Amino acid sequence: MTDLLERLRSAVGDDHVLTEPTDVAAYVVDWTGTHRGRALAVVRPGSTTEVAEVVRACAETRTPLVPQGGNTGLVGGGVPDGSGTAVVLSLGRMRTVRDVDPVAGTLTVDAGVVLADVQAAAAAVDRLFPMSLGSEGSCTIGGNLATNAGGTAVLRYGMTRELVLGLEVVLPDGRVWDGLRGLRKDNTGYDLTQLFVGSEGTLGVITGAVLRIFPATPRHATAWVAVPSVAAAVSLLGIAQEHAGVHLSTFEIANRQALDLVLAHLPGAVDPLEAPSEWYVLVELAGSAADGGLDATLEALLADAVEAGRAMDAAIATGPGRRSALWSLREGISEVQKVEGATLKHDVTLPIADLAAWTDAMGPVLQEVLPGVRPVTYGHVGDGNLHYNLNAPIGRDDDLRAAAGDLTAAIHEAVAAAHGSISAEHGLGRTKAAAAAAYKSDVEVDLMRALKRALDPDGLMNPSVLLTAP
């Protein structure tokens, strides 16, 4: 082991090889606090060359390696297991914005650049990097790529995989693949970039990326809408699409339980509507400086929805302050959910046409399993993605933990029956690796394991994550 530590120190410098438990602590527990592991060391390289040296040292000593970005992942993929045999490779020091080309619409960055800084680098040249997540202040673009993150702009711009044109990756044997050409069209063989997007650190360490940037959308029209049901929310989505077309950029849902958590625990949060409702939608239209009339479009679509009985009331943002107040009702949910005790997260996709029936049917099923369980439901309903996160009945965290297996099994079975996905945007990590294998076909599992064996024959890259665990 000393040989390895010597090699790591000579690769990145003594200060960037952490072994003391106090120094290592933040790197071995995930954001949810569910996954706690132990690391042989935490290594913080400052360049692609240093990453390659670290990977080579681990490969030659057959030491498992866990790449880590901002450690905001929600499925335990960025932290080591409890064996204490793995090295955590943190990309946190690699924060250079390498190049911006507003005309070509490309932004080339190190993997350790925080998402908010990627957004700022695009805005600095009057462009938009559209991906937006509640964790954007600390998650890194390398982690976003490795998890193929989604967020609130997927409806208009797609998942991370639709926002990337090329990658730089250190392969499990230490070689560097430089795929940073950034061409919109390059049909010369397999799409290697897409292979690494969503690979959750199991096929290599992403060290750089060429991202797409888009025309800025400084104009917004935003509303928090009270709707009577999920079915009404889906109808409102159709009305919004009719009226707003390409300008529809956000369509999020939240149930009353989610809003109550925010009103109770998010300082300054205020319910913008008088009458309580069971369901709410945050809808936003976005356009360029030339796109006038977004407010009128929003008012017209809301009027149609009220007329059709698909909406009861709405608070329309009258300026940037009001806009961020409405957004905070949605974005605050994740943080505050932790305040009220144990939660059991489910990040599922359902066919949009089935969302209402699925949600209506799921409630009673869960009450059978654990009476009093609270399904705090919210998320990106515009792309079929619900965060169906269960809170324990008040004061009964242990009951939730005891029933977790049955509750999750009931949810996963209902998702599979509706031909949905048990992981919409957070990936599989450690939390869902086993479940995913059960819901993927043998052919899919075989193909994924064949790819893993081809790139990482010794199985050292993030070994207990995704469904590559043998």
Q: How far apart are CA 192 and CA 304, in angstroms?
A: 46
Name the nearest CA neighbour of 157 among 386, 380, 427.
380
132 binds ligand S2G (CB under 6 A): no
> How many residues at the interface with ligand S2G, by CB under 6 A?
8
Q: Which stretch binds ligand FAD (CB under 6 A): 62-70, 251-259, 388-396, 412-420?
A: 62-70
Within 13 A of 105's CA, how many CA atoms are on the CB side?
Answer: 13
74 binds ligand S2G (CB under 6 A): yes
Query: Are 389 and 341 a contacting pair, CB within 8 Å?
Result: no
119 binds ligand FAD (CB under 6 A): no
The residue number with the shortest CB distance to ligand S2G is: 334
Closer CB to ligand FAD, 117 or 243, in the complex? 117
387 binds ligand S2G (CB under 6 A): yes
334 binds ligand S2G (CB under 6 A): yes
Residue 94: CB minimum distance to ligand FAD, A: 8
462 binds ligand FAD (CB under 6 A): yes
Site for ligand FAD in 138-157 (CB under 6 A): 139-140, 142-144, 146-147, 149-151
317 binds ligand FAD (CB under 6 A): no
Q: Residues 102, 105, 134, 228: which binds ligand S2G (CB under 6 A)?
A: 134
76 binds ligand S2G (CB under 6 A): no
Q: How far apart are CA 281 and CA 238, in angstroms?
A: 13
Site map 335..354 versus ligand FAD, x via CB under 6 A: x-------------------
Residue 369: CB minimum distance to ligand FAD, A: 26
Closer CB to ligand S2G, 8 or 329, in the complex? 329
Residue 150: CB minimum distance to ligand S2G, A: 7
| Angle at 277 (CA atoms; ends 273, 278), nearest 5 degrees | 145
389 binds ligand S2G (CB under 6 A): yes
Closer CB to ligand S2G, 199 or 334, in the complex? 334
Q: How far is CA 356 from CA 259, 285, 308, 384, 425, in A?
A: 19, 24, 17, 11, 20
Q: Which residues bind ligand FAD (CB under 6 A)?
A: 31, 66-74, 77-78, 91, 111, 133-135, 139-140, 142-144, 146-147, 149-151, 200-201, 205-206, 334-335, 425-426, 429, 462, 465
Q: Which residues bind ligand S2G (CB under 6 A)?
A: 74, 134, 334, 345, 347, 379, 387, 389
